[in-house]
């Protein structure tokens, strides 16, 4: 959420920056909504003051007494003060209702305005406009006799059962079997241990169902409602989380933190649920675009002036995961028109997938500035003032996409897959063999 005064005061600059995102900004509409809100609040305050004066000046002298003249000029001389005050109270209630409606209309408008992109982002609206920052590692898994897709590898290794997933739930679901299920569990434990013991994140176990208010706080609602799974039981509406960013960030919603406690670092492993609206026909095979998948999420909360440094730090934590897992990858800076709704700056970390012959996103690391802090009421105390906190988030890492990368980059000509040393103590094996074996 934005401060409406800041948007209006910097109107042309706001229009310019949002245009870089491809977002048409209705400055005149925002000004009109703000004027209506201010006028409605002024009307409420005026009528409340009038009611207070009328109640004080027109109070009867005793039982059954009547005021001589109406001091407010609102009613004819000799009118019963109680009747006059009743009408004033009715006008106050009507004005308060108008003020609430004006406030709600303004808030609904503000909730549709995305975060302002950072000025150092490149121009553009899709992945071809991203700027490569660095590339790490060779194109593993490529060459003669290699380059198989992870879905094919998973089936031949006996660790993925696509047919069973289809029978259970339809398209875009997966079933891991035997060593495959163990690999997923091991990978989650490895990532949580790395982030908790070496990177300083506090691990949380959080709800997978959250309220509309919680989804709104991090920017998933109202814009992305079609991408969410929702349930209603007994009249209670809840949403399945698309990422642990939602509950982790909102753990601190409507709180004022001691500025000396910042930065805070949180992590959680949760299932994630996404309708994948608008992705029909894309990545229908394998583990890249599922309705349900597991992910280890990273969230950091800090002062706004520290956000840029915190973004770079979080990026190193994500890269450390890939280096430990011996995966080849690259880092790109997304253009202004391709960052998420709540982000002001995003690095995508893309892993090499020889089965597709390209790099694919495995983590987005984003600086949201104070955008989510304002929406969720997350503040910190600095001196004698309270300020909205900055929030950052990143995948560290998604389980399914990481398994896909491990299979494709670790494939051998004989059909086996060699896993990294870092996972050996979690899995008890280093090699997956065709037919479901391991060693």
- What are the pLDDT digits (tens) for 399-412? 999 999 999 999 99
Q: What is the pLDDT of residues 5-46, one digit of tens each?
A: 999 999 999 999 999 999 999 999 999 999 999 999 999 999
Whether residues 185 and 332 fall in one domain: yes
CA–CA gap between residue 419 and residue 2 (Å, rounded): 46
| Whether pLDDT at 144 is above 60 | yes
CA angle centred on 126, ends 26 and 214, rounded to 5°: 60
- Contact (CB, 8 A) for 106 and 37: yes
Kindly state the average pLDDT of the residues 371-396: 96
Provide the number of structural domains found in the chain.
2
| Whether pLDDT at 187 is above 60 | yes
Whether residues 100 and 169 fall in one domain: no
- Contact (CB, 8 A) for 367 and 333: no
| pTM for the structure as a whole | 0.91
Position 384 in a domain: yes
CA–CA gap between residue 176 and residue 202 (Å, rounded): 28
- Contact (CB, 8 A) for 208 and 305: no
Position 352 in a domain: yes
Final residue of a domain: which of 47, 81, 111?
Answer: 111
Q: CA 289: distance to chain centroid? A: 18
Query: What does the pLDDT read at residue 83?
Result: 85
Collapsed DSSP state (helix, strand, coil) of residue 329: strand
Query: What does the pLDDT read at residue 59?
Result: 57
Buried b (16+ CB within 10 A) or exposed e, 206-242: beebbebebbbbbbbbeebeeebeeeeeeeeebbbbb
Position 379 in a domain: yes
- Contact (CB, 8 A) for 301 and 106: no
State the alpha helices, DSSP H only, in 194-306.
Answer: 212-217, 245-250
- Contact (CB, 8 A) for 276 and 303: no
Whether residues 189 and 286 fall in one domain: yes
Whether residues 252 and 216 fall in one domain: yes
Tokens of 148: 């198989």
Domain assignment of residue 380, given as a range? 127-438
The CATH number of the domain where 287 resides is what? 3.30.930.10
How does residue 196 score in pLDDT terms, banded at 50, 70 and 90?
A: very high
Kindly state the average pLDDT of the residues 371-390: 95
Q: What is the pLDDT of residues 314-335, one digit of tens each?
A: 999 999 999 999 999 999 999 9
- Contact (CB, 8 A) for 410 and 417: yes
Residue 172 backbone zone (phi > 0: left; psi -120 to 50: alpha; other: beta) = left
Query: What does the pLDDT read at residue 252?
Result: 96
Q: What is the pLDDT of residues 423-438, one digit of tens each?
A: 999 999 999 999 989 9
Whether residues 53 and 182 fall in one domain: no
Whether residues 101 and 142 fall in one domain: no
Q: What is the average pLDDT score of the chain?
A: 93
136 secondary structure, DSSP code? E
Kindly state the average pLDDT of the residues 290-303: 98
Position 5 in a domain: no
Of 140, 186, 141, the residue nearest 159 (C-alpha): 186
Whether residues 290 and 377 fall in one domain: yes
Position 80 in a domain: yes
120 secondary structure, DSSP code? T
Query: What does the pLDDT read at residue 58?
Result: 61
Whether residues 146 and 47 fall in one domain: no
Please count the helices (runs of H) and the strands (runs of E) in the chain.
Answer: 13, 17
Q: CA 212: distance to chain centroid? A: 13
Query: What does the pLDDT read at residue 68?
Result: 42
Whether residues 204 and 137 fall in one domain: yes
CA–CA gap between residue 75 and residue 81 (Å, rounded): 9
Query: What does the pLDDT read at residue 136?
Result: 98
Position 282 in a domain: yes
Q: Are strands 236-240 and 230-233 parallel, antiparallel or unpaired?
A: antiparallel
Final residue of a domain: which of 53, 87, 111?
Answer: 111
């Amino acid at each position: 959420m934005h401060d409406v005064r800041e948007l209006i005061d910097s109107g042309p600059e706001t229009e310019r920056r949002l245009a870089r995102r491809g977002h048409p900004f209705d400055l005149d509409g925002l000004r009109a909504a703000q004027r209506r809100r201010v006028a409605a609040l002024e009307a409420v305050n005026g009528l409340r003051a009038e009611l207070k004066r009328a109640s004080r000046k027109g109070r009867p002298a005793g039982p059954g007494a009547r005021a001589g003249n109406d001091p407010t000029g609102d009613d004819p001389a000799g009118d019963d003060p109680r009747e006059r005050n009743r009408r004033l109270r009715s006008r106050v209630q009507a004005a308060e209702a108008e003020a609430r409606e004006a406030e709600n209309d303004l808030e609904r408008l503000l909730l549709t305005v995305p975060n302002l992109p950072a000025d150092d982002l490149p121009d553009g609206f899709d992945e071809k406009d991203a700027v490569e920052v660095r590339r790490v590692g060779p194109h593993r898994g490529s060459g003669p006799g290699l380059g198989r897709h992870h879905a094919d590898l998973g089936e031949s290794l006996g660790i993925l059962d696509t047919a069973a997933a289809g029978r259970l739930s339809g398209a875009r679901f997966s079933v891991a079997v035997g060593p495959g299920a163990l690999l997923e569990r091991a990978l989650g434990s490895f990532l949580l241990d790395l982030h908790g013991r070496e990177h300083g994140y506090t691990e949380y176990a959080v709800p997978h169902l959250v309220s509309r208010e919680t989804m709104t706080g991090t920017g998933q609602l109202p814009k992305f409602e079609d991408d969410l799974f929702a349930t209603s039981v007994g009249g209670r509406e809840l949403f399945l989380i698309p990422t642990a960013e939602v509950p982790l960030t909102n753990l601190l919603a409507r709180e004022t933190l001691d500025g000396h406690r910042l930065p805070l670092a949180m992590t959680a492993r949760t299932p994630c649920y996404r309708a994948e609206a608008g992705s029909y026909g894309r990545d229908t095979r394998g583990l890249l675009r599922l309705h349900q998948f597991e992910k280890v999420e990273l969230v950091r909360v800090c002062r706004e002036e520290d956000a840029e440094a915190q973004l770079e730090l979080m990026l190193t934590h994500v890269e450390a995961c890939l280096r430990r897992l011996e995966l080849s990858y690259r880092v790109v800076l997304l253009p202004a028109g391709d960052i998420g709704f709540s982000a002001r700056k995003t690095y995508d970390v893309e892993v090499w997938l020889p089965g597709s012959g390209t790099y694919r996103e495995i983590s987005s690391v984003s600086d949201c500035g104070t955008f989510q802090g304002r929406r969720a009421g997350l503040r910190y105390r600095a001196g004698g003032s309270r300020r909205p906190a900055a929030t950052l988030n990143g995948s560290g890492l998604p389980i399914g996409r990481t398994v896909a990368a491990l299979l494709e980059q670790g494939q051998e000509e004989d059909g086996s897959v060699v896993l990294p040393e870092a996972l050996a103590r979690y899995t008890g094996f280093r090699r997956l063999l065709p037919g479901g074996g391991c060693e």
